[in-house]
Each structure stands twice: as C-alpha cells, then as structure tokens.
Amino acid sequence: MHDIKYIRDNAGEFDKAMARRGLGAQSPAILALDEERRGVLTRLQEMQARRNDESRKIGEIKKSGGDASAQMEAVAAMKVDMAAMEGSVRDLEMKQSHILAGLPNIMGPDVPDGADESENVELRKWGEIKSLSGPDHVAIGEGLGLIDFETAAKMSGARFTLLSGPMARMERALVQFFLDTHTGEHGYTEVSPPLLVRDNALYGTGQLPKFSEDLFKIKKREEGKDKPDEVDLETGRTTMYARAATYENAWLIPTAEVPLTNIVAEMIVEEDTLPRRYAAFTPCFRSEAGAAGKDTRGMLRQHQFYKVEMVSVTAPEESAAEHERMTACAETVLRKLELPFRTIVLCSGDTGFGATKTYDIEVWLPGQETYREISSCSNCKDFQARRMNARMRSKGEKETRFVHTLNGSGVAVGRALIAVIENYYDQADGGVWVPEALKPYMGGLEKITV
RNA sequence: GGAGGAGUGGCAGAGCGGUUGAAUGCAACGGUCUUGAAAACCGUCGUGGGUUUACGCCCACCGUGGGUUCGAAUCCCACCUCCUCCGCCA
C-alpha cells in the first residue's frame, strides 16, 4: 500500500519507480482522483459542521423550553445532500485505495534494471561443484524406489509427491536441521503458526487482492450442495471443497511469510523489542496456476511443499542490514550441507510485488545442469506494514512509525532434498550419501541405498 | 451443534440520547524536590483525515455495516470476533 501523501509530494519520483515496474505514469490519475475526493470531503465536512452547530442550538432551545421546529426542519433538509456526498466520498475512497493496493512496491535504487530473470545479477558463488551433470532426482529417487509420483497422482493429481522410507526421513531431517540452525545459531524464535488464514492476512502481506489465482481457498459448503453424499459413485468425484461447515472462506498459506509477518499486524511494538525474528516450518500450498507446463517433471514445483521460513520485523533504519543478515542465514544452511550455490540480486523486472529488493539463492542441480532457486530473501520495508498497520514506537517518542518487514526462505525443503539427492548421488551404486550435517537427524545413517 | 456473556484510548475500566473525544487507574512524557534515584506533588498525554504560510479551525472514529433521531459510544437490526458452560472430537 502506498502513502498518498508521498505520491502528492513526490509524483515524479513515484512515476519513475512505477516505470521500473513496467507501468505507465500512475500519479496523474491518482492525484486527480485524490483531488476530487478531498474536494467532496471538504464540502461534506463543512456541512457536517453546520449540522452539528444547529443540533447543538436545538438542544439548547429545547432545554430552555423553546420551540425549535424551524431549526429541526432545516437540519432535516440537509440530510439528503449529506447522504449523497457521503456515498460519493466513500466511493472515491474505495476507488483510490483499490488503485493504491494494486500497485507494486517501490524498488531500491540499487536494484539493477532488467526485463526478466535473464538480467538478474550474480553477486557471489560458493562451493565446489563436484558433479556438473548427472541423473535427476526423479531417476535417482525412482531407482531407489523411495520417490513415487504415480501413487501421489492417483490420490491427488499432478504436482504431488509421495516419499517413503529414508527419503521421507531425510526430508524431515532437513526440516529439523534448518530449524535448529536458525533458532539455535541465528536467533530466530520458532513459531508454529496457523496454516489457514483469512483474507486480511493475505492482504497484509500483498498476496491479495491481486494474486488470488495463485492460492488455494477453502470454500464454505453451500447449503444443499456439495454434500458428502453427492459423491458420484461411478467416478467417485465430488464438487465439494471442504467439509468444514463451521469454517469458511479461509485460504491455505502459500508460505509461512503470511502468518509470521501478520504476527505484528495491528500492533504498536516498542522499538527495544526489535528486531523480532521468527522462523517456522510449515507446508506451503500453491495452485501454480500461472506455471502450467513449467517444471512438470519431478518435485521441483508442487502444489504442496515444506519450507522453513524466516521473517524479521525491524526498525526502518535496520532493515537493509537485516536483509544481508537474513540472506547470510539462508546461505549458512547450504554451506553446512556443502551444497554449491550462488546468490543473485533480482533485477527490476523479476522483483516481486511487495519487495523493494530481493536476493535469490540458487543451488546447483546436476540433474538440470544449472542453478535453481532454493531461497528468496526480500526486504519489503514498510509496504506490508502499511497494509497491516504494523507500527513501532521509539523510546520517549510520541509518534509511531511503520516497521519494516523482511522474509526469506531458510530454505525450501523439497528443493533442498532434490539438491542433496542430486549432489550426493553415488553413480557406483545408485545410492545417495547422507550429508554430514544431516547424519545426527538420520540415526547415523551414512547412505541411502537400494 | 446448543445456551449464555462481552467487544470503549498503549493497557485496565466507567459512561441518564444533547459541549462526552469520552470519568478514573496504570503506563508514558515534562517539571518541582533530591548528590543521584525512588516516593510524593504539579502539568501534559488517543487515532486518522481535511484546511491553513502559520497559531489554529473543522470532520470522523467507542468491533463492522445499516437504521431510528434535529442530535447516537448510549436506542433498533444484521454481521464479525472473543470468552464461558454443555455436547462432539484429534
């Protein structure tokens, strides 16, 4: 959400920032609307002031036993005009906030210009690539009989995976390792948040209203429709989305960023309790509506995956440094896993809606002979805070300021599993070595073999 | 699912339909006192918005949205949320 005052005072700057997002000049329309809104508002308020005055007089007249019917009639006559103006103000306000809520965040000056992901800029590389190429996780996992896409598809459709045995355990081991590292060494507080959230939470982090098609929604069962007994006995199909009759219109979280960031929604936090650092392990649900046909092989892009997420809430002055720190925290777990990675800064065309600046960490995948995203760390500054009204107060200060929020994967568990499988593959026997860091979580197992 | 209760400022908690934006307490801030601090005392102290060069003036906000009224925190309706008890349940 953008500050209309900022746009009023910095229309040129604002339009330049939107131009970097590939948008035309936004301020003329916004400012015209704003002016109209304020014009009507001022006239309405003048009328309200007059009404209040008259009403007060009526009260006085009546108290002293006089006849106030003339005044009462006059005020009653004003009501028609006032109602119209109220409607018009509300209308204009809604139009305005609709426009403002739909515009992306202003990017940092140090974000490189570029049209798409091909123009992202590599910042650093780490690790020795031991296998430049090799079988992908699908071949390896199916060879071991521990990754099963067909069975998952049977019950759930495309973009689901079923892991079993030591492969399932390794996924859990990654989760444990990531969380233990971030809570034990990086100062994050572990959180186990709700996975179903309301509209306003998703609005706060910026997924709504623009990106609803990327999400899964729990729909209320309509009375008389979608009943469990309406399952078609021949096909076994039903149109029912959920049986939770008491819970309606919730969304499955696409990332723990949503519940974690919303912890501070509607709050005024004392500055000395900042930074707040939260880490959570959660499933993530994404419809992948815009990715049809993309990454269809394997478990790289799923409707459901696990992720350990980091969220920081900081004072405005601290967010840039926190961004670097958070990215380093994500890199650390990859270092400990000895997985080769590179860190890039996303160019203007690839930076997400709510971010001012985003670092992606990409891990080397021998099966694809390329680096693929495994973490994304963004500084949203006050963009989300404004939307969710998350503020802070400094010691001794009276006024509040919006906090800055940051989020980053620490890291995506499914993709980390892919990276381990492919980078620790032993072509001699088709097995997968267990990374040193994961051994404590694998009961000391050295290697996954047939 | 059934039956009740409640939503007011940073927090707690009052509030006959007519200067109530809202008592009181706590917290916070400024000051007096003190070597310093505490205590005590005095004072300040909600948010958002419009307008003004400025002092200021004005408007809105007591869960949300409607309604009644000349006038609503206060009355009516709907909704949302939270709490308690019962039932069911991992």
**A109-145 per-position pLDDT tens digit:** 999 999 999 999 999 999 999 999 999 999 999 999 9
Asked whether strand B has any atom less than 7 Å from the CB of A54, the reply is yes
Cβ atoms of A252 and A264 closer than 8 Å: no
Q: Which residues contact A68 (CB under 8 A, 6 or more apart)?
A: A57, A58, A61, A62
pLDDT of residue A12: 92
Q: Do residues A63 and A168 share a domain?
A: no
What's the confidence (pLDDT) of residue A332? 97
pLDDT at A68 over 80: no
Total domains present in chain A? 2
Q: Does the interface ipTM go beyond 0.90?
A: no
Q: What whole-number percentage of chain A has pLDDT above 70?
A: 92
**H-only helix segments in A311-376:** 319-336
**pLDDT tens digits for range A182-224:** 999 999 999 999 888 888 888 889 888 888 888 888 765 544 4
The alpha-carbon radius of gyration of chain A (Å, integer) is 27
Which of A56, A71, A101 terminates a domain? The answer is A101
Strand B bases near protein CB (under 7 Å) are: 1, 10, 18-19, 28-30, 45, 47-51, 58-60, 66, 70-71
A79: which nucleotide lies closest, measuring CA to C1'?
B70
d(CA A430, CA A141): 9
Between CA A263 and C1' B67 the distance (Å) reads 36
Domain-embedded: residue A107: no
Verify that A248 and A354 share a domain, yes or no.
yes
Give the position of tokens 């890291």: A411
Q: Which of A99, A141, A147, A82 is nearest to A2 (CA)?
A: A99
Looking at the structure, tell me whether residues A187 and A90 fall in a common domain: no
Type of residue at A55: S
- Give the CB-side neighbour count of residue A173, counting CA atoms within 13 A: 21
Model pLDDT, residue A210: 83
Q: Which pair of structure tokens corresponds to residue A18?
A: 């939107």
pLDDT value of residue A249: 66
pLDDT of residue A356: 96
Q: Which of A199, A252, A188, A195 is nearest to A407 (CA)?
A: A188
Q: Is the CB of A76 under 7 A from strand B?
A: yes
pLDDT above 50: residue A241: no
The answer to whether A159 touches A302, Cβ cutoff 8 Å, is yes
**Among A77, A101, A125, residue at a domain's last position:** A101
Q: Would you say the C-beta of A79 is within 7 Å of strand B?
A: yes
Residues A271 and A177 in one domain: yes
Q: pLDDT tens, A225-237?
A: 444 444 444 445 4
Q: Tell me which residue range forms the domain holding A84.
A: 4-101
Lowest mean pLDDT among A231-235, A325-329, A411-415, A430-434: A231-235
Residues A131, A202 share a domain: yes
> Which pLDDT score, from 0 to 100, does residue A292 have?
76
Domain boundary among A73, A101, A129: A101
Other Cβ atoms less than 10 A from the Cβ of A98: the count is 10
**CATH number for position A44:** 1.10.287.40
Mean pLDDT to the nearest integer, A383-390: 88
Whether the predicted pLDDT of A357 surpasses 90: yes
Same domain, A147 and A89: no
Same domain flag for A174 and A243? yes
Residue A248's pLDDT band, with cuts at 50, 70 and 90, is low
Strand B proximal to A52 Cβ, under 7 A:
yes
Mean pLDDT of chain A, nearest integer: 88
Instruction: For residues A197 and A333, state if they share a domain.
Output: yes
Does the CB of A225 fall within 7 Å of any strand B atom?
A: no
Question: Is pLDDT larger for residue A143 or for residue A91?
Answer: A143
User: Region A356-370: what's the mean pLDDT?
Assistant: 96
CA A43 to chain centre: 40
Are both A59 and A129 inside the same structural domain? no
